[in-house]
Amino acid sequence: MVREFRNWYEPWEMTLFKPGGNQFFEAIIAKKYGGLHFKDFLGDRVGFTLSEGCAVLCRCSRHATQGSELQAVDGHNWFYGLLVCYEGFDPEVPYKEQNEDLYDVMELMNSDFYKSIGEYYAENPSPNVKIVEKSSGASAWKLPEDKMFARKNGIYVGHLYDEAGEGEGEGSGTGDGESEG
């Protein structure tokens, strides 16, 4: 089986939660991103994501200068980030108890991260991982101020917009598929 990884930020990934998070959403984030490698775009290290436990519930920043690009909506001010690890990280020890140089919690909107995944697999091909890049004709992810989120089943879900800004409905899926290979 070959794992196909969609190497871009998909609309369904921009979902906001209340403080308890959502175990189902956490599982599909882990399914998409778990077990990947990437080149550290801040240095020359190789990073990786854990197969389990890579989705981390984060609080939206109230101030843009504090790092979070996502803004709270109607009390839903939590989102899932991705725990990325480096050599020396111990998966048996909670990440907050480890040296900060061994991990980072990354927002999924970070385009440099997807570039670094593509670079890693271009230099280190794997028979088990196929990197799928977004085609130039594919729909673009827009963040219009007035229609950034829609409420569905008690959570706020981002919308997918085409190049002209026309809505195509809510994003869905896990962004990770498998095919015979």
Tens of pLDDT along 53-64? 888 888 776 555
| Nearest alpha-carbon partner for 141 in 68, 69, 65, 57 | 69
**DSSP string for residues in 119-147:** HHHHHS-BTTEEEEPPPTTSPP----GGG
Query: What is residue 62's predicted lDDT score, i.e. its pLDDT?
Result: 53
Contact 146, 47 (CB under 8 A): no
Alpha-carbon gap, residue 110 to 91, rounded angstroms: 24
Residue with the two structure tokens 């690890």: 85
Alpha-carbon gap, residue 118 to 120, rounded angstroms: 6
Q: pLDDT for 66-102, tens place per residue?
A: 555 565 566 677 888 899 999 999 999 999 999 999 9
Q: What is the sign, positive or negative, of the torsion defined by CA atoms of 1, 85, 111, 146?
A: positive
Instruction: Answer yes or no: is pLDDT of 172 > 70.
Output: no
Cβ-Cβ contacts under 8 Å for 123 (sequence gap 6 or more): 39
Q: What is the DSSP letter of 61?
A: P
| Nearest alpha-carbon partner for 60 in 76, 84, 38, 47 | 76
Contact 29, 5 (CB under 8 A): no
Which is more confident, 23 or 77? 23
Q: pLDDT for 119-167, tens place per residue?
A: 999 999 999 999 998 875 444 444 444 444 455 555 445 533 233 333 3
